[in-house]
Structure 1
Amino acid sequence: MGSNSQLMVLIIIIFVEILVTVNGELHRVVHPATKADGSISVLVIGDWGRKGMYNQSQLAYQMGITAEKKDVDFIISTGDNFYPSGLTDENDPAFDESFTNIYTAPSLLKKWYTVLGNHDYRGNAIAQLSPILKAKDSKWFCMKSFILNTDIAEFFFIDTTPFEDKYFTDPEDEVYDWRGVLPRDKYLSTLLRDLESALIESRAKWKIVVGHHTIKSVGIHGNTKKLVQKVLPILEANDVDLYINGHDHCLEHISSHHSRLQFLTSGGGSKAWRGGYDRTSINEKEMRFYYDGQGFMTMQITETDIDIDFYDIFGNVLHKWGASKSYFSSI
């Protein structure tokens, strides 16, 4: 492709993003319906980018098989896309080595809607947002925060890394790319305001929020206190059905005993088996499923029902959960 053609592609991509931009930190994009009834099938994976190592390639193979069986419409990545320190720039070979050359099954050549994790912020975080990467691999889509519209569900992707105090006060000799985030207080207050406003205005059948960091988890990282304090009340007040995250390298399902909200962790995309299980962090009655290992998750969503499946690296279904919209509405 010549330089003029590349420039035109970038201009078109940037123009489309301007068309869907809303005020503040949230952008709105639309995923066109592919099924006549408007239902959607989604695969969720997190914490994966290790150039095929730590069973990333083997898991990608199984993801391809499952995605074909489920007729997946798109993939959600819950962050930590490139280890150990994100990308250096838009030409970093890690993009191909950890993404393009790994997820090659035809069933995975769908749009990947992606957020940043804390390891992504340790590199050039802006590079992952660049339209240059979209031009290199059309399935890549990454923004810090955005709203994804489908016919029956809205997905609210939020940038959770800046909520963690320790990345600012005790960075463990790591350098974080805070461009676009500072001043931090203003960034976070704007994001919280925009999230709350968008949830209040939403008329979607299903409201699903996606972030990298946990809200509730028994894994090694445990609950993220700032998200519990700042984000969880907004989700509970606005009838959010699911919160989906990575960060803990495990598979997990936790329910809430006083709201409709379900907490789903899909962070087993490569390196896992970390040995964390803190029973004191939640009410034991809320614990539905925990697997300290590699795997991924799928969601089947219709107007009236949702079905969740968790898989291990061999494609075995480890946990199934489903509910009707009337179930959620009754809580």
Structure 2
Amino acid sequence: MASSLNQRMVFPVMVVVGMFCLLVTPSIAELPRFKHPPKKQQSLNILVLGDWGRKGTYNQSLVANQMGIVGEKLDIDFVISTGDNFYEDGLKGVDDPAFYQSFIHMYTAPSLQKTWYTVLGNHDYRGDVEAQLSPILKQKDSRWLCMRSFILDGEIVEFFFVDTTPFVEEYFTDPGEHTYDWEGVLPRLAYVSKLLKDVDSALAQSKAKWKMVVGHHTINSAGHHGSTEDLKQLLVPILEANNVDAYINGHDHCLQHIIDNNNGIHFITSGGGSKAWSGDVKPWKLEELKLYYDGQGFMSMQITKSTAYIIFYDAFGKVLHTWSISKDRNVAAWI
């Protein structure tokens, strides 16, 4: 592989370069806010998974098993799901057996019996959206917490979960053979405008040491879908203006870590929960692309007041990539 900063990567390789009580409080803006009770340990420990719900196929069960092992080792606080929770077309309703087949009966390890903070993906919008948002699912499994957009307050870090599917104009203008459930979203422009205002307001008023945004769709990505221009135009200026540390997403079925040279934001893709796209990678600046792995897997985060440690694992638990992000961005480096 060439080392010139001007050359691009054009081939698929890995670049080496229990339940907690949820406290609901009024939000700063219009976004619902949840406070995750702190533990005595020094760090907040999290697993991040995306694009997973395939009833155990495409190595979903292997990934779930390794998540249980890593989750126990880290004594995780909760799990973040970056969307596309149920394939191919979301849930049919609150009684869809896929909720059991792809979630309840899949993530059975004791360490994974923690809250799953979940956003919707584009495949979820092809089903009954209200089913995933329904409190009935939480009655079936108390771990489940899914909303369109919300804030999770972990004291030293705040996660801002953003419903990114309505940002993508193509789903509205050229849906192809797919049918999307837009109830609660239309009119689209008003929905997106209000959401942007609420996210901007909440980020601006946040006093957390770390500010991280979670959405389903990619912003910067060398994967199959690539960068989402609608989000780059509308959401990135808000991330930059409010000194967001990281944007975490799924959508591309890979594991990926990009550090944007222009704004220093870490763009982290954890979309390897089941089906992956081998060899499907676009050129990207090597000085920005710290990891591209075209297989299944997941990610862990350990966050302290001064440092966020991220680790990517494959479906067999092998560590693929580690990185430490310092609050002094000039110190961020390999672990």
**TM-score of the alignment, normalized to the shorter chain, above 0.5:** yes
Residues 1:93 and 2:66 are matched in the alignment? no
CA distance in 2, matches of 1:34, 1:329: 27
CA distance in 1, matches of 2:331, 2:201: 21
* 1:107 alignment partner in structure 2: 111
Do the aligned residues in 2 keep the contact of 1:33 with 1:151 (CA within 8 Å)? Answer: yes
Aligned partner (choices 284, 291, 294) of residue 293 of structure 2: 291
* 2:74 alignment partner in structure 1: 70
Instruction: Give the deviation of 1:21 after TM superposition.
Output: 5.4
Q: From the two aligned structures, give the one with the greater helix fraction.
A: 1
Instruction: Give the deviation of 1:323 after TM superposition.
Output: 2.4
CA distance in 1, matches of 2:247, 2:330: 14
1:163 maps to amino acid: F
Residues 1:237 and 2:241 are matched in the alignment? yes
Cα shift readout 1:163-188 (whole Å, capped 9, x = no counterpart): 11111111111110101100000000
Instruction: Give the deviation of 1:22 after TM superposition.
Output: 5.8
* 1:303 alignment partner in structure 2: 305
**Structure 1 residue matching 2:287: 3-state secondary structure:** helix
CA distance in 1, matches of 2:331, 2:128: 42
Do the aligned residues in 2 keep the contact of 1:27 with 1:147 (CA within 8 Å)? Answer: yes
Aligned residues with identical type, % of pairs: 60
* 1:55 alignment partner in structure 2: 59
* 1:33 alignment partner in structure 2: 38
Do the aligned residues in 1 keep the contact of 2:23 with 2:36 (CA within 8 Å)? Answer: no
* 1:9 alignment partner in structure 2: none
Moved over 2 A (4+): 19-24, 326-330
CA distance in 2, matches of 1:164, 1:276: 22
2:322 maps to amino acid: K
Q: 1:161 to 1:274 in 2, by over 3 A?
A: farther
Instruction: Give the deviation of 1:275 after TM superposition.
Output: 2.6
1:177 maps to amino acid: D
* 1:8 alignment partner in structure 2: none
* 1:116 alignment partner in structure 2: 120
Instruction: Give the deviation of 1:20 after TM superposition.
Output: 3.9
CA distance in 2, matches of 1:328, 1:68: 32
CA distance in 2, matches of 1:328, 1:180: 42
Residues 1:326 and 2:328 are matched in the alignment? yes
CA distance in 2, matches of 1:179, 1:136: 24
Do the aligned residues in 1 keep the contact of 2:55 with 2:101 (CA within 8 Å)? Answer: yes
Residues 1:161 and 2:165 are matched in the alignment? yes
CA distance in 2, matches of 1:323, 1:97: 36
* 1:4 alignment partner in structure 2: none
Cα shift readout 1:92-151 (whole Å, capped 9, x = no counterpart): 110001000000000000000000000000000111000000111000000000000012
Instruction: Give the deviation of 1:36 after TM superposition.
Output: 4.2
Q: Which has the higher contact order (CA 8 A, sep 6+)?
A: 2
Q: 1:329 to 1:66 in 2, by over 3 A?
A: closer
2:325 maps to amino acid: A
* 2:276 alignment partner in structure 1: 272
Cα shift readout 1:2-48 (whole Å, capped 9, x = no counterpart): xxxxxxxxxxx9x976x545653x211111112343x2000000000
Do the aligned residues in 1 keep the contact of 2:299 with 2:311 (CA within 8 Å)? Answer: yes
1:242 maps to amino acid: A
1:150 maps to amino acid: G
Do the aligned residues in 2 keep the contact of 1:47 with 1:80 (CA within 8 Å)? Answer: yes
CA distance in 1, matches of 2:26, 2:132: 19
Q: Which runs of 5+ in 2 are unaligned?
A: 1-20
Do the aligned residues in 2 keep the contact of 1:260 with 1:328 (CA within 8 Å)? Answer: no
* 2:11 alignment partner in structure 1: none
**Structure 2 residue matching 1:293: 3-state secondary structure:** coil
Cα shift readout 1:207-227 (whole Å, capped 9, x = no counterpart): 000000000000000000000
Aligned partner (choices 307, 312, 315) of residue 314 of structure 2: 312
* 1:10 alignment partner in structure 2: none
Instruction: Give the deviation of 1:283 after TM superposition.
Output: 3.3
What aligned pairs does 1:130-145 form with structure 2 within 5 A after superposition? 130-145=134-149
Cα shift readout 1:27-71 (whole Å, capped 9, x = no counterpart): 11111112343x200000000000111111111011100111111
* 1:257 alignment partner in structure 2: 261
* 2:178 alignment partner in structure 1: 174
Number of residue-to-residue matches in the alignment: 312
Deviates more, 1:251-260 or 1:41-50: 251-260
Do the aligned residues in 2 keep the contact of 1:40 with 1:302 (CA within 8 Å)? Answer: yes
CA distance in 2, matches of 1:328, 1:112: 32
Aligned residues: CA RMSD: 1.7
Instruction: Give the deviation of 1:285 after TM superposition.
Output: 1.7
